[in-house]
């Protein structure tokens, strides 16, 4: 199907579904939620409320950057600052699935409040085909599948879910996003998981540990900008490693650089990164993040590893 036909069809379908009601979209700035937000805005105009939940797990400068991009398209985005609530929910959790559950509950509690406040009865969501396949396959629970938390999309909070992208894979979503006028910083953006930097912090997720991963992520993204990998990230291990500082033993953080090539994130291969690029990233990490004493590059494909560490 032609992209324009797809966009026109989805716009009409959203308009028909929502009718005279109101809808709300939780924008994350990723290509999926951005594309479905623009589609819904086309369909509904001011009947769509767009919120960006700042969960404290975003990359550096992300909330303001996303708000700016959407302002450029004439779409108002309300930033909801909820970091404290997410960190409180994640405190004392070490198990990956428990962390995912805590994140989901915090997300729906914050988002649920926004929904009630907005009076919306429709939730616009950027679910794509891979999310559905991976969740059905039991690989891991994606936070954006309502059924996973026992909410019946037809009843639940009393709202219905609008998922205009659920038949598409990522490359098709990018084409749609481009056609909808989203800039390259969004349509060519690396995938970034709903639970944000949480999926890259092994062990307890605290503001301090997220800050380490945030800085390391920025260094990886800067370092690999020219190589344009499918997805690149930094991970903080839960164990510490021995290092040396000023002649003394120092027990510090271990950061892993992960960069992969993939078509649709279902399978992936490590990016062949030139040695000097790896060394530059490693040097920056230990220099700019005082707690880091070791940096490693991960060589595992998917499968058997997943892309994220959680």
* Angstrom distance (rounded) from CA 142 to CA 104: 9
* Angstrom distance (rounded) from CA 98 to CA 65: 30
CB 301 within 8 A of CB 268: yes
Which residues partner with 80 through β-bridges?
Answer: 53
* Angstrom distance (rounded) from CA 160 to CA 162: 7
Choose the binding region for ligand XMP from 37-45, 68-76, 158-166, 187-195 (rule: CB under 6 A).
187-195
Annotate each residue in 249-268 with x if it binds ligand XMP (CB under 6 A) or - if it does not, as one string: ----------------x---
Q: Residue 214 corresponds to which tokens in the numbers above?
A: 């945030």
89 or 286: CB nearest ligand XMP:
89
Choose the binding region for ligand XMP from 83-91, 155-163, 193-201, 278-286 (rule: CB under 6 A).
193-201
Which DSSP state fits 302?
B
Question: How many binding residues for ligand XMP (CB under 6 A)?
Answer: 15
**In angstroms, what is the minimal distance from the CB of 265 to ligand XMP?**
4
**In angstroms, what is the minimal distance from the CB of 164 to ligand XMP?**
16
**In angstroms, what is the minimal distance from the CB of 32 to ligand XMP?**
7
128-167 binders of ligand XMP (CB under 6 A): 140, 142-144
The C-alpha torsion from 171 through 8 and 51 to 138, rounded to 10°, is: -40
Which DSSP state fits 189?
P
Backbone angles phi, psi at 292, to 5 degrees: -85, 125
268 or 295: CB nearest ligand XMP:
268
CA angle 120, 69, 221 (to 5 degrees): 115
13 or 132: CB nearest ligand XMP:
132
**In angstroms, what is the minimal distance from the CB of 195 to ligand XMP?**
5
**In angstroms, what is the minimal distance from the CB of 16 to ligand XMP?**
27
Q: What are the DSSP calls for 41-78, one per residue?
A: HHHHGGGEEEEEEE-S-SPTTHHHHHHHHHHHTT---E
Residue 195 as a binder of ligand XMP (CB under 6 A): the answer is yes
Through-space distance between the first and last CA atoms of the chain, rounded to whole angstroms: 36
- Dihedral sign, CA of 308, 304, 220, 284? positive
Residue 34 as a binder of ligand XMP (CB under 6 A): the answer is no
* Angstrom distance (rounded) from CA 234 to CA 252: 16
* Angstrom distance (rounded) from CA 233 to CA 255: 10
Residue labelled with tokens 């944000």: 196
* Angstrom distance (rounded) from CA 294 to CA 299: 16
134 or 241: CB nearest ligand XMP:
134
Residue 40 as a binder of ligand XMP (CB under 6 A): the answer is no
* Angstrom distance (rounded) from CA 229 to CA 299: 14
**In angstroms, what is the minimal distance from the CB of 93 to ligand XMP?**
15
93 or 143: CB nearest ligand XMP:
143
Annotate each residue in 226-245 with x if it binds ligand XMP (CB under 6 A) or - if it does not, as one string: -----x--------------
Q: Binding residue for ligand XMP (CB under 6 A) from 83, 191, 207, 243?
A: 191
15 or 305: CB nearest ligand XMP:
305
Residue 194 as a binder of ligand XMP (CB under 6 A): the answer is yes
Binding-site ranges for ligand XMP (CB under 6 A) = 140, 142-144, 191, 193-195, 199, 231, 265, 302, 306-308
């Amino acid at each position: 199907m032609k992209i324009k036909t797809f966009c026109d069809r989805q716009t009409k379908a959203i308009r028909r579904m929502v009718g005279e009601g109101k809808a709300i979209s939780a924008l994350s700035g990723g290509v999926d939620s951005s594309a479905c937000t623009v589609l819904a805005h086309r369909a509904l105009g001011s009947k769509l409320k767009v919120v960006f939940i700042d969960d404290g797990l975003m990359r550096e400068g992300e909330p303001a950057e996303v708000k700016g991009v959407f302002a450029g398209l004439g779409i108002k985005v309300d930033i909801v600052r909820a970091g404290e609530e997410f960190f409180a929910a994640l405190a004392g959790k070490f198990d990956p699935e428990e962390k995912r559950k805590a994140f989901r509950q915090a997300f729906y509690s914050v988002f649920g409040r926004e929904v009630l406040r907005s009076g919306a009865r429709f939730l616009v969501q950027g679910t794509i085909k891979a999310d559905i396949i991976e969740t059905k396959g039991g690989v891991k629970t994606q936070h954006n599948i309502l059924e996973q938390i026992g909410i019946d999309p037809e009843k639940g909070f009393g709202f219905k879910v609008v998922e205009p992208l659920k038949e598409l894979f990522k490359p098709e979503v990018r084409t749609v996003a481009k056609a909808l006028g989203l800039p390259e910083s969004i349509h060519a953006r690396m995938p970034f998981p709903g639970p944000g930097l949480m999926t890259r912090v092994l062990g307890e997720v605290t503001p301090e540990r997220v800050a380490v991963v945030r800085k390391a992520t920025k260094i990886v993204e800067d370092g690999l900008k020219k190589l344009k990998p499918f997805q690149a990230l930094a991970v903080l291990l839960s164990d510490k490693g021995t290092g040396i500082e000023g002649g003394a033993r120092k027990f510090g953080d271990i950061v892993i650089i992960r960069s992969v090539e993939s078509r649709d994130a279902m399978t992936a291969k490590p990016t062949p990164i030139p040695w000097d690029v790896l060394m530059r990233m490693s040097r920056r990490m230990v220099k700019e993040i005082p707690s880091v004493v070791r940096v490693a590059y991960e060589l595992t494909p998917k499968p058997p590893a997943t892309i994220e560490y959680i």
